[in-house]
Structure 1
Amino acid sequence: MDSHFLGLTAIVTLGYQLTFFIITALFRFDKVTDFAGGTNFIILAILTLVLKGSWHFRQVVLSLFVVIWGLRLGLFLLMRILQWGEDRRFDDKRDNLGKLAIFWILQAIWVWTVSLPVTVVNASDKQPSVQAQDIIGWIMWIIGILVEITADQQKLAFKNSPENRGKWCSVGLWKYSRHPNYFGEILLWWGVFLASTPVLVGAEWLVVFGPVFIALLLLFVSGIPLLEASGDKKFGNVAAYRSYKRKTSPLILLPPGLYGSLPQWFKTILLFEFPWYSRNLPQEELSW
């Protein structure tokens, strides 16, 4: 693999995110944040594919996957924030340049790290024929993005319905997972990684940090913990909501009847039901 690609993608990512950071800081315009993230993935995928110029089938497929994912997510989140107004994640950052800078630095790290499997595939001189890992990885990506798109659309339709104002979403896929969109997101990036493995040699296996990073981010930092805390704050005093949390998996799609009957240790160890996801509920609700 040409190691220059890693440096090039890092420079492009930092420059792209810096541009949007300056726009956000100067004009207090935070509606382009997610668009900047999604389109950055697209730029890296196309740039590395074109510069290498070998156009192997594996390279084209994975680059196309990233383009589809980036366009869909970037445009969806942009349209959503334009409809809803200001991005609440920036309520404590608009007037704090330091916090704002940290956010954009983390976004740059997210883009570059999660893009690593595709960057390495596109930069690699080793391109064996299609393997079983490719097929399985592609299937995982397809399932993941379909789950993510379906979950996003179901929640958007739910929240746009006046009769659902003041309610939590528990319809469609949200009946089987409290965060099905994150399940789809994690699954599709692990699929991309798996499809990259036929070309990996030596230190290139470190690209596993890509899907690991997105999983850790959603499970422990800016994904599920924030939304769980927000949901508990709004609905924690509602018995039906607490019942929904007890019976519904936090991530992996599972029938409520099955999930609700599982022992707590099993949920915590294998199904990511961590205690801090419910720290804002009454203490008795934590003894599941």
Structure 2
Amino acid sequence: VLAGVSYVTELQVYALIALGLQCFVFLAHGLPQMSEKLYDVSGSLTHLALILASLLQSTNRNPRQIVCSILGIIWLTRLGSFLFQRILRDGRDTRMEDMKTSGIRFFVPWVIQALRVFLTDLPIVILNTIEDSEELSFLDFFGWSLWTIGFIFEVVADAQKFIFRNDPRNHDKFITSGLWRYSQHPNYLGEILMWSAICVSATAGFRKPSHLLGWLSPVFTYYILIHVSGIPMLKAKADKKWKGNPEYERYIAHTPLIIPGQRT
């Protein structure tokens, strides 16, 4: 997938940067220590490398490229620092435990992260590597407004859960307050909204049909969060802890998975 998409979009250099950085951190720290402590940090730094490298190579940077790049950097800085604080607090990432039985198996999530970073950043990298002379339009301002809503959703949801989990009175409880009252995963809704919003703005500057592959960003983000490493892992962990609890069963049955107001 990484090779194919990068070939069609002519962004092989950026695919190699993503894969190279992940391999470097894995070989320098992950494998020798059998540790995932730098996993999320390396992901954030790879995001930063792709966005900055693509922006700095542009000889005629315009407001659309600059704003979309800044929004991507704000997202990665906020999420990266949050995830790093979390692993420092917890000491480990439970998602990785089954992967650390062998070096080869442990290497898989690092390769997947390279793919995820590349596909997530794709609309920004495409936009930054083309000569975009289009004036700002309604799509830009609509996209940036939508991004702000998504950012607020993710920040508020993560903050509410962080405060809830750090209250001793909530030991062995699950959160159903704040945004979590209306969605089982409001933080994921925020992330999907943000990358959809960046695509809306970036599309105004796309020049070729292949540039529309930038929309793989929100599609891939949705797929990963809903079907792979997000909800399925969290659901399995929650079911193991609270399955059979009437309050938990009621919450799962009546609270929309992602979109507030959506039928369960």
Instruction: Name the TM-score, length of structure 1 as normaliser.
Output: 0.85
Aligned twin of 2:125: 119
Aligned twin of 2:67: 61
Return the alpha-carbon distance in structure 1 between the equivalents of residues 116 and 222 of structure 2. Answer: 11
1:216 and 2:223 equivalent?
Answer: yes
Aligned twin of 2:5: none
Return the alpha-carbon distance in structure 1 between the equivalents of residues 95 and 203 of structure 2. Answer: 36
Return the alpha-carbon distance in structure 2 between the equivalents of residues 33 and 53 of structure 1. Answer: 33
Of 132-141 and 158-167, more deviation after overlay is shown by 132-141
Q: Which of 239, 255, 258 lines up with 1:248 in the alignment?
A: 255
Displacement, 1:21?
A: 1.3
**Number of aligned pairs?**
255
Structure 2 unmatched runs, 5+: 1-7
Aligned twin of 2:54: 48
Task: Report Cα offsets for 1:64-105 as digits up to 9, x if no partner.
Answer: 011111111111100111011111112112231222111111
Q: Which has the higher contact order (CA 8 A, sep 6+)?
A: 2
Aligned twin of 2:45: 39
3-state DSSP class of the match of 1:115? Answer: helix
**Code of the aligned partner of 1:40:** T
Aligned twin of 2:212: 205
User: Is the contact made by 2:65 and 2:127 (CA closer than 8 Å) also made in structure 1?
Assistant: yes
1:131 and 2:141 equivalent?
Answer: no
Aligned twin of 1:95: 101
What does residue range 129-208 of structure 1 map to in structure 2 within 5 Å?
Answer: 129-200=135-206, 201-208=208-215
Tell me which structure has the larger Cα radius of gyration.
1
Distance verdict in 2 for CA 1:36–1:7, change over 3 Å: same
Instruction: Name the TM-score, length of structure 2 as normaliser.
Output: 0.93
Displacement, 1:241?
A: 0.8
Return the alpha-carbon distance in structure 1 between the equivalents of residues 233 and 36 of structure 2. Answer: 19
Structure 1 consecutive aligned stretches of length 4 or more whose deviation exceeds 4 Å: none
1:237 and 2:234 equivalent?
Answer: no
Displacement, 1:242?
A: 0.7
User: Is the contact made by 2:180 and 2:186 (CA closer than 8 Å) also made in structure 1?
Assistant: yes
Distance verdict in 2 for CA 1:75–1:5, change over 3 Å: farther
Q: Which of 5, 21, 26 lines up with 1:21 in the alignment?
A: 26
Distance verdict in 2 for CA 1:95–1:165, change over 3 Å: same
Aligned twin of 1:282: none
Displacement, 1:4?
A: 8.8
The RMSD of aligned alpha carbons is 1.4
Displacement, 1:245?
A: 1.1
Displacement, 1:132?
A: 1.2
Displacement, 1:48?
A: 0.7
